[in-house]
A and B are shown apart, each in its own frame.
Chain A
């Protein structure tokens, strides 16, 4: 039987104290509250698995508190306590979502069996979540969106298969948008830890203090705003894999803390004095040249060697142009399904435009381009004119597109800027309205509104 974190709520001191003492003797962690208001404060602050709740209390009664608990903390199990003769109240509470009820005073056998039942229920819920996560992982285990028939990607797939079973740290390098997290997920899905969680965090997205609390968790009162104890990603990843994206952005102090946690598999939560244990596999990723960061003194060499036991480089999309059409077709199908649209086809000119682009944003940029095209295009085909490239990869960077393709793009862009006011767009383009209408028809452009 697993240990439960139990909150006993009863306005009678003798009741709550004797119940707490008895449950503590049985090895559970017990807290007590004398009123509904106090209980809500405690539920907000600390983590509980089970609430033992007296129905009859002054102020907020058990029914009201039950409703609030089920609304705000649906994962907490609630057992109602009522006196003999008030069984109707207990039946109502069961209809309101209580997990069970006890008539007081209770036979110790009944209390013990009920607590065992709740502990089993908690274990089943934990198991259910693990199975659900595992299924989620397995769904992506065919390498998911990590697609490629190029030699470079075949080499990546081979490396994933090789390192997955080894249970050692892996460093994944590659430009932004190449799919480093997908590689990490694929490694986790094939590893011996695939029944455990896959926990990801982008280290570059958070300021240092916040990152420390996110990684290690914090105790209540550790800092202003730490109103309740919170477990960190390291603890969440116990028995699973921890994915640290943009690991090159971590500060030197954080590198020391992480190094210690990795080596000892135990650490302190921020503001904590009791060490917690967590056994996870570390997978890191970066778009930076880590060796250069080590040379520049921004990354500690001992930290680098610890996380870089094996490295996998994910090639940028421009190094595997053969995969562009494969990926584009995959995303086309994916997004068409998502918005319940019949799967469209890319015209040859659209394919040509895609393969000539240099993809500075890599697969993520391609994904965005296709997603937008699927949303804005009408009809069964997506033409070059439906493709919009973002940021550094604007249409100007499309290499050697045909004059017709450039014409179509320029006309569409101008129309969009004028919110499809054809007369105004014609004026900007320096042609008359009739000519522009002919161009629109010839290039298959359509007003999305």
Chain B
């Protein structure tokens, strides 16, 4: 059976965001993507003093009960963090079953303004593909031109081109047996 990805909205998420994430994962990872019914907002993962969602329990919840050929991507609008980090754009179980991406910070533009929609969607595509590649087992890449490079912030994320370096491309293809 062939690997497939399931996108799950965790609370209300714009339809266009789901479509962009699905299309780009399908294109760059090369696996079919289905949109599953939405889940409620992950209140269980809320850290009240920080007003942010802890990515770890969300990943655990997403990774539970999936079959061997399915990987899950959760999308949410709330701000995402890790206990040790003030924020993350997304987080994944490397070589695991699930990833989660928050759209909140991707909307930030310069001088506190909201970024144009096409910029937000391009950022979302990059983060979603990046996190799903982690799920397939890829780690951060040392090539600054690769989608798997670590982005120090939105500026670096914007500077990235939406493509893997040849080595990561080869790894992705091998993982999904293209």
Q: Name A residues whose Cβ lies closer than 8 Å to a Cβ of B.
A: 1, 12, 14-15, 17-19, 21-22, 24-27, 104-109, 111-113
Contacts and interface: CB of A to CB of B under 8 A. Distances in A.
B142 A1 contact: yes
Which of A19, A105, A106 has its CB near the most chain B CB atoms (within 10 A)? A105
Interface string B51-67: 00011100000000000
A22 B139 contact: no
Those 10 A-B pairs whose CB atoms lie nearest each other, nearest first: A18-B82, A14-B83, A109-B152, A26-B140, A27-B139, A19-B84, A107-B86, A108-B85, A105-B86, A18-B83
Interface in B65-118: 81-88, 92-94
B150 interface: yes
Interface residues of B, number: 22
Contacts of B93: 21
Contacts of B140: 25-27
B103 to A, nearest CB: 17
A107 B93 CA distance: 20
Contact of A15 (B81, B83, B92, B94): B83
B9 interface: no
B99 to A, nearest CB: 11
B153 interface: yes
A113 to B, nearest CB: 7
Contact of A112 (B86, B92, B152): B152
A105 B142 contact: no
11 contacts: A14-B83, A15-B84, A18-B55, A18-B83, A22-B85, A25-B134, A25-B139, A27-B142, A105-B86, A106-B84, A107-B87
B149 to A, nearest CB: 10
What DSSP secondary structure best describes chain A's contact surface? helix
Nearest to B83: A14
Which of B50, B84, B85 has its CB near the most chain A CB atoms (within 10 A)? B84
Contacts of B86: 105-108
A19 B91 CA distance: 12
Contacts of B82: 18, 22, 105
A368 to B, nearest CB: 54
B16 to A, nearest CB: 27
A104 B139 CA distance: 24
Nearest to B94: A25
A14 B150 contact: no
A14 B87 CA distance: 15
Contacts of A111: 84-85
A118 B134 CA distance: 24
Nearest to A107: B86
A106 B85 CA distance: 5
Given A22-B84, A25-B140, A27-B142, 13 more contacts: A12-B83, A18-B82, A19-B84, A21-B93, A26-B139, A26-B140, A105-B81, A105-B83, A107-B85, A107-B86, A108-B88, A109-B152, A111-B85
A112 B85 contact: no
A21 B88 CA distance: 13
Interface string B112-142: 0000000000000000000000100001101
A19 B85 CA distance: 8
A105 B84 contact: yes
Nearest to B140: A26
Nearest to B139: A27
B129 to A, nearest CB: 15
B171 to A, nearest CB: 13
A17 B83 CA distance: 10
A112 B139 CA distance: 14
A21 B83 CA distance: 12
Nearest to B153: A109
A27 B171 CA distance: 15
Contacts of A22: 82, 84-85
A106 B87 CA distance: 8
A104 B54 CA distance: 15
A24 B54 CA distance: 19
Contacts of A21: 93-94
Contacts of B85: 18, 22, 105-108, 111
A429 B15 CA distance: 113
B175 to A, nearest CB: 16
Contacts of B134: 25
Nearest to A10: B84
A14 B56 contact: yes
Contacts of B88: 108
Contacts of B54: 14
Given A18-B56, A26-B150, A108 B87 contact: yes
A17 B139 CA distance: 17
A79 to B, nearest CB: 12
A17 B56 CA distance: 9
Interface string B153-173: 100000000000000000000
Contacts of A106: 84-86
B82 to A, nearest CB: 4
A107 B111 CA distance: 19
